[in-house]
């Protein structure tokens, strides 16, 4: 961890600040991503014991202000934010940029079976594009685009979701949750960068964070190049480059 990281000084000041990139900025790699290919960052906020929500589905707030500011900076760094329907049903998030200065990204909900309530806050017509990704014929409120994709055995291919969004001009994507969605995107090889925000909190039983395909041997474990940032109020950000592998670096 760098000296600056230990003091939390390498992270941008608290809100409201414009989403600018700098050498030490964990959002910098996202803002500067190659515009000719999709760039996907995923985030999860979790407890020390690896939970993203309590057993009853409560996740507000595991992380504290600096981590929430960081999440909003991530949103402001991308063209579209993607969540699974489970997150919308549990949290009814707005998915806009409020804690920092910056542009609201498009909001995308993966909702294969058409369970998204028309009154969900992420569908509010505020100028940002709103998209649902569906496998079924269910309609959507006026102004909400529907992307229809086939399901494989059970899932819509995360790479097909990324490609469909890229075709529409959404080049930088934030997969914001929940854990099932983030895990599927990582297992599919669709994620470039993973930001895990760990709060010094112990939840006990609850919803696990990443739940990836098993490996046979410890030597097969991935060791992505990672930078660690201690945030001002005690949460820790692990910024993992999933396109790298520390075993071969």
Ligand X SMILES: NC(=O)c1ccc[n+]([C@@H]2O[C@H](COP(=O)([O-])OP(=O)(O)OC[C@H]3O[C@@H](n4cnc5c(N)ncnc54)[C@H](OP(=O)(O)O)[C@@H]3O)[C@@H](O)[C@H]2O)c1
User: Residues interacting with ligand X, by CB under 6 A?
Assistant: 44-46, 52-53, 57, 59, 62, 83-87, 90-91, 110, 112-113, 115, 155-156, 158, 176-181, 184, 207
* Closest residue to bound ligand X by CB: 178
- Alpha carbon distance, N-terminus to C-terminus of the chain: 18
Peptide bond into 61 cis (omega under 30): yes
Q: How far is the CB of 202 from ligand X (least distance, A)?
A: 15
Q: How far is the CB of 4 from ligand X (least distance, A)?
A: 25
Give the closest residue to 195 by CA, choosing from 242, 162, 144, 147: 242
Q: How far is the CB of 241 from ligand X (least distance, A)?
A: 19
Residue number with CB closer to ligand X (77 or 87): 87
Give the closest residue to 124 by CA, choosing from 92, 147, 101: 92
Those residues with Cβ within 8 angstroms of residue 152's Cβ, 6 or more apart along the chain or in another chain? none
Residue number with CB closer to ligand X (128 or 147): 147
Peptide bond into 87 cis (omega under 30): no
Give the closest residue to 226 by CA, choosing from 11, 9, 2: 2
The DSSP bridge partners found for residue 206 are 54
Residue number with CB closer to ligand X (155 or 219): 155
Q: How far is the CB of 72 from ligand X (least distance, A)?
A: 13
Alpha-carbon separation of residue 104 from 98, 108, 168, 200 (angstroms): 9, 12, 17, 30
Residue number with CB closer to ligand X (100 or 109): 109
- Per the CB < 8 A criterion, the answer to whether 174 and 151 are in contact is no
DSSP state at residue 128: S
Q: How far is the CB of 198 from ligand X (least distance, A)?
A: 11
Residue number with CB closer to ligand X (9 or 160): 160
Alpha carbon 190 to chain centroid distance? 12
Q: How far apart, in whole angstroms, are the C-alpha atoms of residue 238 and residue 77?
A: 18
Residue number with CB closer to ligand X (24 or 187): 187
Q: How far is the CB of 237 from ligand X (least distance, A)?
A: 12
């Amino acid at each position: 961890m760098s000296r600056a990281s230990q003091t939390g000084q390498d992270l941008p000041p608290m809100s409201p600040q414009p989403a600018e990139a700098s050498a030490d900025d964990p959002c910098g790699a996202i803002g500067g991503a190659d515009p000719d290919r999709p760039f996907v960052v995923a985030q999860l906020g979790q407890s020390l014991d690896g939970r993203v929500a309590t057993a009853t589905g409560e996740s507000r707030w595991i992380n504290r202000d600096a981590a929430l500011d960081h999440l909003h900076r991530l949103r402001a760094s991308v063209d579209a934010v993607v969540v699974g329907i489970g997150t919308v049903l549990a949290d009814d998030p707005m998915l806009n940029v409020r804690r920092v200065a910056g542009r609201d990204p498009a909001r995308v909900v993966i909702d294969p079976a058409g369970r998204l309530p028309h009154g969900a806050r992420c569908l509010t017509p505020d100028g940002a594009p709103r998209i649902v990704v569906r496998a079924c014929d269910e309609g959507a409120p006026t102004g909400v685009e529907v992307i229809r994709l086939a399901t494989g055995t059970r899932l819509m291919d995360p790479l097909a979701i990324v490609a469909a969004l890229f075709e529409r001009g959404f080049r930088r994507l934030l997969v914001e949750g929940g854990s099932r969605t983030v895990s599927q995107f990582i297992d599919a090889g669709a994620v470039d960068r993973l930001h895990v925000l760990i709060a010094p909190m112990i939840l006990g039983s609850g919803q696990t964070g990443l739940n990836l395909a098993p490996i046979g041997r410890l030597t097969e474990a991935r060791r992505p190049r990672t930078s660690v940032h201690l945030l001002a109020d005690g949460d820790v950000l692990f910024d993992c480059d999933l396109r790298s592998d520390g075993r071969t670096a």
